[in-house]
Amino acid sequence: MKIGVLTGGGDCPGLNAVIRAVVRKSDTLSSRVVGLRNGWKGLLDPSSMDLDGKMVSGILHIGGTIIGTSRTNPFKDAGGPEKALKNLRILGLEALIAIGGEDTLGAAAKLYEMGLPVVGVPKTIDNDLSGTDFTFGFDTAVSTATDAIDRIHTTAESHNRVMVVEVMGRNAGWIATFSGIAGGADVILVPEIPIDLDEVCDLILRRHSRGKSFSIVVVAEGAHFVEKPGAGGELVLQEAPKDEFGHVRLGGISQVLAKAIEKRTNFESRYVVLGHIQRGGSPTAHDRVLATRFGVFATEMVHRGEFGKMAALQGNRIVAVPLAEATATLKTVDMGIYGIAKEFFG
């Protein structure tokens, strides 16, 4: 069997671990693997590379993706989906493994309905894909953000400052909540709960009245203020056009927040945007194991003919869930876990 594999959307640590697992498992099942370059782009405008044991040797711990990625949407232009299906045939591929988040797998779900034999693997540092408890890449992003918060702690304390740390996560507060808990943040702000500036400043003032001279605020890039006169309500954006899936580029809320906190509390404040550092570098052991399990399971799904589904982690088991189900709604942060974080605010 000849299987295509592609990585779409924002990269994340663990992509190479999945590719390696797919190639190694396929080898044991006498199948060949071809990597499509740069996500769906490599299928629309065919560009591929043969992947064998030699190609994937030594990549388990390497960040990024050896086959490249892009935010190409096969449904953006008329005729795109038909072209993708035709090119799959031309390339002689009998199945495709799409490794991606809600955009890449959302497109895969629609292409499956049109006849594409596709299996999904859930990737994203944002952990916002439904149907799976965790996506790979998330644990590494949380570890990186936690390490940054630890470092920010010491300088915050030395200077008696409020430090506002902005993390990624798009419209979900998973990275903020997990890194905030792990890093001992005094306030964590997520997109799911609009920011009430009075409440944030009260928490910081309360902490400082207890003799503390510094505070750490972790804010998700997609967090926004409560809508009330003079307090905004809209997302803070970077100036950039939307991507092919219609997403704006988020970023900058920490700067606005640090300024507002300093004005209200008179505590000197600074902000830090962690940005793409969260997406780079070597995957954690947890992500290497999860990515490997996903890769092996997805390859088995292909050989079972279990198309239109995604390998998913539920509890400690890898199971197959329909792509349509996984991409129907965004998985926002678990309020039970956020509730734990709140116990430590202020």
Verify binding: residue 126, ligand F6P, rule CB under 6 A.
yes
Comparing CB distances to ligand F6P, the nearer of 300 and 334 is 334
What is the rounded CA–CA span in Å between residue 248 and residue 7? 21
Verify binding: residue 168, ligand F6P, rule CB under 6 A.
yes
Rounded least distance, CB 110 to ligand F6P, Å? 19
Label residues 211-229 b or e (16+ Cβ within 10 Å = b): eeebbbbbbbbbbbbeeee
Binding residues for ligand F6P restricted to 18-77, rule: CB under 6 A: none
| Closest residue to bound ligand F6P by CB | 168
Comparing CB distances to ligand F6P, the nearer of 111 and 220 is 220
Comparing CB distances to ligand F6P, the nearer of 68 and 346 is 68
Comparing CB distances to ligand F6P, the nearer of 46 and 280 is 280
Q: How far, CA to CA in Å, does 205 sit from each of 185, 190, 262, 270, 297? A: 15, 20, 11, 16, 51
Verify binding: residue 331, ligand F6P, rule CB under 6 A.
no
Comparing CB distances to ligand F6P, the nearer of 74 and 308 is 74
| Per-residue mark of binding to ligand F6P, 75-114 (x: CB under 6 A) | --------------------------x-------------
Return the residue of 218, 250, 298, 321 that touches ligand F6P, per CB under 6 A: 250
Rounded least distance, CB 313 to ligand F6P, Å? 18
- Vertex 284 angle, CA 283 and 287, to 5°: 75
Q: Is position 126 annotated as part of the catalytic site?
A: yes
Return the residue of 35, 100, 169, 346 that touches ligand F6P, per CB under 6 A: 169
Give yes or no for a contact between 194 and 167, defined as CB atoms under 8 angstroms apart. no
Verify binding: residue 170, ligand F6P, rule CB under 6 A.
yes
Selecting among 11, 27, 103, 126, the annotated active-site residue is 126
Return the residue of 20, 123, 279, 309 that touches ligand F6P, per CB under 6 A: 279
Kindly state the number of chain residues that form the binding site for ligand F6P, as judged by CB under 6 A: 12
Sheet holding 162-167, edge to edge: 187-189, 215-220, 162-167, 269-273
What is the rounded CA–CA span in Å between residue 296 and residue 66? 18
Comparing CB distances to ligand F6P, the nearer of 279 and 309 is 279
Q: Known catalytic residues? A: 126
Interacting residues with ligand F6P (CB under 6 A): 10, 101, 124-126, 168-170, 221, 249-250, 279
